[in-house]
Structure 1
């Protein structure tokens, strides 16, 4: 993909399922020709059933509907759920299907983690929100805090092309290959660029295991180096590379107001222990750290100065930066950046506890050794696992109940969606 700024876009910030799901379902309800959905998690709950009905209605109206799920993130869809989609003409694809020896997934650390929707090549959605009821406030205390964007303008064409290429590459082994390429060729012929509808320049940036292995992290580092006044990063899982940490420390030391909004209650106590080492390291350089405590933080967003921001699916941890297939949009627009910045400021004021060196206490003795080991294991375990097969996209029709019950340690990874 050509990494360049595309002008003339309009973005709407969508916070949590209450804002995201109605906009997506309404767009699908108005679809005339095509719906493409990629998601890590699709559960058969009230949200998943709403999505199912919207997709079935679109397919029955004659739209081509393709849904791609990760077979580990969405393992337990019933035959009834899938058959209803197929009967209407929806094509539902499973990323990394295959046998599970001893109940384990060989490509456990290679996941399709993107969350993308494109409707009629006219509107797109990118963010971190899955199709599950735990993105709604009425789920209770465990409801997730998260973000997505609705996109209009020329960037939609770029996202649409990417989704077509991903489907074509993933489906290359299927019998329907010839039909797929004929359909894709028709869309290419009609794929003139969308007109300019707004003032935002934007890029669609992905991470894969072939050509774009570090694009998302690299764009973060470029923006951090360029920041002059302010950096706010809200991320559910924050264990980036050493170069990333070094750029944050340098920014804080040259006078930039650097703030991190991180999870107050991580999924595992081990992560909290590792974070203590990271906290001391950053706080001593002048970085301010806030723990979000109102509900589980699931967002992956950032703002830098007055015009640069990003929203997407990528955490800033080894899983997202080294293994998962991810997608972010990077936006250069003063009005939208101010909207997201105001949202994060409100989060810090009303729902976060600021962490200080005094509140952490001094690291010494066994606590220092324990935190040191935990931090560096968390940072390095992904690189130690690079001997695992590198996951090239491969899609097959989704099968019901293709997942197996997960051991407790692996179940935690599924929550990092």
Structure 2
């Protein structure tokens, strides 16, 4: 088996540009009105919807994901994509080389041989049994079907997003989008996989501006925001900070990996200080212990300002969602930690819709009221002196981490096409 760079592939239409990662997109997407957005909670809601949309696809399926496992969900994904490709649907699937690094060659070859245009972001063999592609991951989770329906959020294609997985099943969220915003998500996904994209003509841009202004109370408006290592390094962090600065009544953030830099922490603190009801729902039963330890380094700073902190203890929290006041929400792939805010390729949608905001608030309120442990200044974990010293140093290090991360050298992750034919760059998967 081999992975060939796209520029060497015979599939010229999907040839990627000679960039260090999938097409760094110098595009800032605007608010689009007249959309219908539905919250999908956990795999029980997400997988049936996305698989049904794929089964009904007539022309095209675009997929980006961080993780695929060869469990019952991964096997169903393979079956659905193969069936679509065999009936003539153009299927392009982009997998992250780290998150999907354990997929077998048989699994990948079955997709490729059926006609799926399979691409691996930053494939790298293990050295001395260790992976070498730890940083700058393709962390987005996007599906677009026929340019008409889009799914975006934090849910991977793995059975650990289903309750029957057991105590380690993840709590997570995605959204299904219908409407003008799908065109932006589709445009973005095409650019990422190296497919040709027609420029938008003046009348299309004019129609977009009209749709933005069509709904005065903001209901049904959606905007795509993404993070890359080119011109959009801080876009997701900036929209969080802006939303926090304008918050008047409430802020709820549910995030799996919470260890943001100083500027974002300061906006959270400032919102609470001016009387906004600020609630954080974080991991109490993490899939990685370091996530819990890192988040707890911020507790004293936030609790002293009146921020309410809840730890979700039923199972691992994997969500990346937030809401502000009664109409602004965001759902996506981006955690609030150094990897997501400074290195990974991420995508969120911003949503201005009172009905969606209310639904998300009710789900999160149920989570915090019935399934979380409340952390107060009196009950907050107290570390030893050296714990507090480390926390202080790491906390202030993060004030400058995004700038320093951009200096990290050498490693240039690339998007490569998988082919089952033997090629010049063998890449053995295990």
Shorter-chain TM-score: which interval? 0.7 to 0.9
Distance change >3 Å, CA 22–CA 361, structure 1 → 2:
closer
* Partner residue, 2:246: 226
1:21 equivalent in structure 2: 47
Q: TM-score under structure 2 normalisation?
A: 0.83
| Residue 107 of structure 1: how far off its partner (Å) | 4.1
Taking the TM superposition and a 5 Å limit, the aligned residue runs for 1:397-416 are 397=418, 402=428
| Whole-Å separation in 1 of the counterparts to 2:384 and 2:120 | 48
Q: Structure 1 residues 343, 402: CA separation in 2 closer, same or farther (over 3 Å shift)? A: farther
Q: Which residue of 1 aligns with 2:103?
A: 77
Q: CA deviation at 1:84?
A: 1.9
Partner of 1:36: 62
C-alpha spacing 1:62/1:219, structure 2 compared with 1 (3 Å): same
Unmatched runs of 5 consecutive residues or more in structure 1:
169-179, 405-417
User: Which position in structure 1 is the counterpart of 2:343?
Assistant: 323
Q: Which has the higher helix share?
A: 1
**Helix, strand or coil: the match of 1:357?**
coil
Partner Cα separation in structure 1 for residue 315 and residue 419 of structure 2: 32
The answer for the alignment partner of 1:108 in structure 2 is 134
SS in 1 for 2:298: helix
The correspondence for 1:202, drawn from 222, 236, 250, is 222
Deviations 1:83-119 (A, max 9, x none): 2212221111000124555455554211000000000
Note if contact 1:274-1:378 (Cα within 8 Å) is conserved in structure 2.
Answer: no
2:374 aligned residue: 354
* Cα displacement (A) at 1:394: 2.7
- Which one of 297, 315, 326 corresponds to residue 277 of structure 1? 297
Aligned CA RMSD, in angstroms, stands at: 2.8
> Once the 2 structures are TM-superposed, how far is the Cα of residue 53 of structure 1 from its aligned partner?
0.8
Alpha-carbon displacement from aligned partner over 1:168-190 (angstroms, at most 9, x marks no partner): 1xxxxxxxxxxx54xx56999xx
TM-score (norm 1): 0.86
Does the 8 Å CA contact 1:76/1:402 hold for their aligned counterparts? no
CA separation of 1:110/1:357 partners in 2, compared to 1, >3 Å: closer, same or farther?
same
Mark the runs of 5 or more structure 2 residues left unpaired by the alignment.
1-26, 421-425
How far residue 384 of structure 1 moved from its aligned partner, in angstroms, is 5.3
Cα displacement (A) at 1:388: 3.1
SS at match of 2:151: strand
Alpha-carbon displacement from aligned partner over 1:341-382 (angstroms, at most 9, x marks no partner): 111001001110110010126667445335434655677777
- Say whether 1:137 aligns with 2:163: yes
Alpha-carbon shift at residue 80 of structure 1 (Å): 2.2
SS at match of 1:388: coil
Q: Give the direction of change, closer, same or farther, for the CA distance of 1:398–1:279 in structure 2 (3 Å limit).
A: farther
Is 2:416 the partner of 1:395? yes
Q: Which residue of 2 aligns with 1:175?
A: none
Report the counterpart of residue 410 of structure 1 in structure 2. Answer: none
